[in-house]
């Protein structure tokens, strides 16, 4: 695996107010960045898995944009009657999904799930075809960062002002102590 980006998300990163629900201070950055990375790395005909996507509000807006641009399957642990959705728990490896997708994305869920985050990371990575991409965002603190830094043999990059709940374009003072990170890798 080739680590293309392992960094925090910065105040000078791209953001999109289409994902502004007045509360989710980081989504305007996370969704915009993932869309930017998909534009950069995807090819015509790629199949994408949007894992643990959520079923309401800005998550549906992100799903609709993805569906309008790409061939995407969306999963979460909760059922949905929206098109191209299925139930999947990222805690479990799925033989049926092994190397099925060209790109797997996971937005701010990896750190929310109890258990070993590296094991969950590998469950997602197993779904990626060779030469495909895994794209994750995550809250910090939250992610078991020390495990990823050991796995990647590098510290998370923090070169600019990191976004948090206070300096986000959608301020949320309850999240002042949170930052957001991103992993983009090629399998």
Measure the CA–CA gap between 85 and 176, rounded to whole angstroms: 33
- Check residue 68 and give its pLDDT: 96
Q: What is the SS3 string spanning the chain?
A: CEEEEEEECECCCCCCHHHCCCCCCCHHHHHHHHHHHHHHHCCCCCEEEEECCCCCCHHHHHHHHHHHHCEEEEEECCCCCCCCEEECCCCCCCHHHCCCEEEEEEECCHHHCCCCHHHHHHHHHCCEEEEEEEEEEEEECCCCHHHHHHHHCCCCECCCCECCCCCCCCCCHHHCCCEEEEEEEEC
Rounded percentage of the chain residues whose pLDDT exceeds 90: 77
Residue 53 has pLDDT above 80, yes or no: no
Mean pLDDT of 83-100: 93
Number of domains in the chain: 1
- Domain of 6? 2-186
- Check residue 24 and give its pLDDT: 84
- The Cβ of residue 114 has, within 10 Å, a number of other Cβ atoms equal to 7
Tell me if 187 sits within 8 A of 132, measured CB to CB: yes
Residue 181 has pLDDT above 90, yes or no: yes
Torsion angle in degrees (nearest 10) through CA of 21, 138, 72, 35: 70
Min mean pLDDT across 19-23, 70-74, 154-158 is at 19-23
Confidence band, pLDDT 50/70/90 cuts, at residue 173:
confident
Report CA-CA distances (Å) from 53 to 33, 50, 62, 80, 150.
15, 6, 9, 11, 27
Rounded percentage of the chain residues whose pLDDT exceeds 70: 100
Instruction: At 9, list the tokens.
Output: 């998300």
Measure the CA–CA gap between 185 and 37, rounded to whole angstroms: 11
Q: Per residue in 127-168, pLDDT tens? A: 999 999 999 999 999 999 999 999 999 999 999 999 999 999
Confidence band, pLDDT 50/70/90 cuts, at residue 43:
very high
- Check residue 44 and give its pLDDT: 95
Output the domain CATH number for residue 143.
3.40.50.150
Residue 56 has pLDDT above 90, yes or no: no
Residue 35 has pLDDT above 90, yes or no: yes
Q: Structure pTM?
A: 0.94
Strand partners, 6: 183
């Amino acid at each position: 695996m080739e680590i293309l980006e392992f960094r925090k998300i910065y105040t000078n990163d791209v953001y999109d107010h289409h994902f502004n629900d007045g509360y989710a201070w980081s989504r305007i950055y996370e969704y915009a960045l993932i869309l930017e990375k998909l534009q950069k790395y995807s090819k015509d005909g790629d199949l994408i898995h949007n894992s643990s996507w959520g079923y309401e509000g800005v998550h549906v807006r992100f799903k609709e944009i993805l569906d309008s641009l790409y061939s995407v399957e969306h999963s979460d642990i909760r059922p949905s009657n929206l098109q191209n959705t299925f139930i999947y728990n990222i805690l479990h490896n799925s033989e049926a999904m092994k190397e099925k997708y060209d790109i797997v994305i996971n937005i701010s869920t990896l750190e929310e799930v109890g258990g070993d985050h590296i094991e969950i990371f590998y469950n997602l990575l197993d779904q990626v075809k060779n030469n495909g991409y895994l794209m994750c965002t995550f809250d910090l603190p939250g992610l078991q960062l020390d495990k990823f830094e050991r796995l990647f043999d590098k510290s998370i990059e923090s070169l600019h002002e990191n976004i948090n709940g206070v300096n986000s374009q959608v301020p949320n003072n309850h999240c002042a102590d949170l930052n957001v990170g991103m992993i983009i890798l090629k399998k």
